[in-house]
Amino acid sequence: MKDGVYYSDYLQLDKILKAQMLESDKSGKVHAHDEMLFIIIHQSYELWFKQVLYEVGSVMDIFAKGKISDNSPDLYTVHHRLKRVVTILHMLVGKIDILETMTPLDFLDFRDMLRPASGFQSIQFKLLEALLGLKMESRHGKEYYISQLRPEDAQVIHDAEKTKPLIALVNEWLERMPFFDDAKYWQGMDTNSFWDKYKEVYSASLADGEKNNLLVFEEQLLSNVSKPEWSLSPKARRAALFIMLYRDYPLLQLPFGMLNVLLEIDEGISIWRYRHMSMVHRIIGMRTGTGGSTGKDYLSGALAKHHIFSEFAALTSFLIERNKLPQLSPSLKEKLGYNS
Ligand code: HEM
């Protein structure tokens, strides 16, 4: 055998493969066959959460560097890593199929031995929510949210909530969108008259029952007053809507991909929540969770409320038909092309 790195040392398999300690194998208890699957599934989720946090952390570091240039490799790297997160999330949904091979009766063999432990105490999951931008005040059951954690773990979450989350970094990136503040690209039409024209077309596109949308459009996009509960400022929303509308131009394709990948992350987490919740319903019915929550009802509340990037999704209410888009000036078109 050659010298050098050895497979099991490199992967530290001695630690990982000895880390499955079944509660049901402790003295005085009855071995529960499916507890091994239960532990391995959770451990593999936590490993993947670690990878997701690693990717998200690296993306946040790139954004936090300051001026991320749309013309540099940075934006590509950010997009590529977030796409990887989406792929991981899809795979994590599929893993629920494996857990569902455990029947409710199999689970009952060891379920009561787990109290009060619960996936609810997954620090990495809570950390991910906080780093992406879920605010404490928006959390479902927030009074219960931290109470199940050890003080040192609760502190990790509190500290994460003090850092600028990904959504705030994206908001700043959008606010810095180049050429919006540069009159030379708007010959014959400054950005204000662009949005006035846009409002006119948008207003004409609304059905009778949608007229209120115009007020929301004015408040969320045209005014320059942000509300504390908003994650996106009006300036950032204008930039995001502009990207969605003119995304066929080369310079906007990657920014458009960025907005999309954030929605895909939200969707990936929601689909996981939904699958987890229906699995929970199937396996414990209406019983409370081992973590002491109302079980399925708690999870259903979190599913409904814990969307992080929904303000981007909401912008699609303000789209207009492509053939009615205001024409951009030649210099702006050139700026958005490959030769800019
Ligand atoms: C038999 C399988 C499972 C059951 C019956 C179950 C049940 C529950 C219940 C009832 C809750 C609500 C909190 C509580 O009162 O305990 C919960 C939360 C949670 N579980 Fe599971 N779970 C299972 C498997 C998993 C797996 C494999 C993971 C993967 C890491 C997981 C991750 C989580 C997370 C992250 C939460 C917190 C969700 C949130 O706060 O929105 N669970 N689980």
Q: Can you give the pLDDT at residue 1? A: 84
Give the three-state DSSP class for 282.
Answer: helix
E strands present in 91-247? none
Of 296, 317, 215, 310, nearest to 265 (Cα)? 310
How far does the centroid of ligand 1 lie from the alpha carbon of residue 121, in Å?
Answer: 9
Q: Which atom of ligand 1 is nearest to the CA of 296?
A: 10
C-beta of residue 77 within 8 angstroms of C-beta of residue 180: no
* CA torsion through residues 206, 210, 215, 219, sign: negative
Q: Which atom of ligand 1 is nearest to the CA of 294?
A: 15
Average pLDDT in the chain: 92
Whole-angstrom distance, CA of residue 120 vs CA of residue 293: 9
- Cβ neighbour number for residue 35 with a 10 Å cutoff: 23
Q: Can you give the pLDDT at residue 186? A: 74
More reliable by pLDDT, 197 or 269: 269
Using CA positions, which residue lies closest to atom 6 of ligand 1?
280
How far does the centroid of ligand 1 lie from the alpha carbon of residue 263, in Å?
Answer: 23
CA distances from 238 to 220, 242, 261, 312, 316 (A): 9, 6, 19, 11, 12
Whether 340 has a pLDDT exceeding 60, the answer reads: no
The structural domains of the chain, ordered by start, are 31-335 (1.20.58.480)
The pLDDT tens digits of the residues spanning 229-265 come to 999 999 999 999 999 999 999 999 999 999 999 999 9
Which of 51, 99, 280, 306, when mutated, tests ligand 1's pocket best, judged by the most ligand atoms within 8 Å of its CB?
280
C-beta of residue 118 within 8 angstroms of C-beta of residue 291: yes
* CA torsion through residues 193, 231, 64, 89, sign: negative
* Ligand 1 pocket, Cβ-based, cut-off 6 angstroms: 41-42, 45, 99, 107, 118-120, 122, 125, 276, 280, 283-284, 289-293, 295, 298-299, 302
Full DSSP string of 166-184: HHHHHHHHHHT-TTTT-GG
> Which of 205-210's residues contact partners 24+ apart within 8 Å by CB, and which partners?
205/320, 205/321, 205/324
Using CA positions, which residue lies closest to atom 26 of ligand 1?
42
Q: Locate 32 and state its tokens.
A: 């529960």
Report the chain's terminal Cα–Cα distance, integer Å.
57
Residues near 23 by beta carbon (within 8 Å), at least 6 away in sequence: 29, 35, 110, 113, 114
Whole-angstrom distance, CA of residue 147 vs CA of residue 145: 6
More reliable by pLDDT, 157 or 141: 157
More reliable by pLDDT, 64 or 21: 21
The pLDDT tens digits of the residues spanning 83-108 come to 999 999 999 999 999 999 999 999 99
Q: Among 147-151, 188-192, 255-259, whose mean pLDDT is lowest?
A: 188-192
Whether 26 has a pLDDT exceeding 90, the answer reads: yes
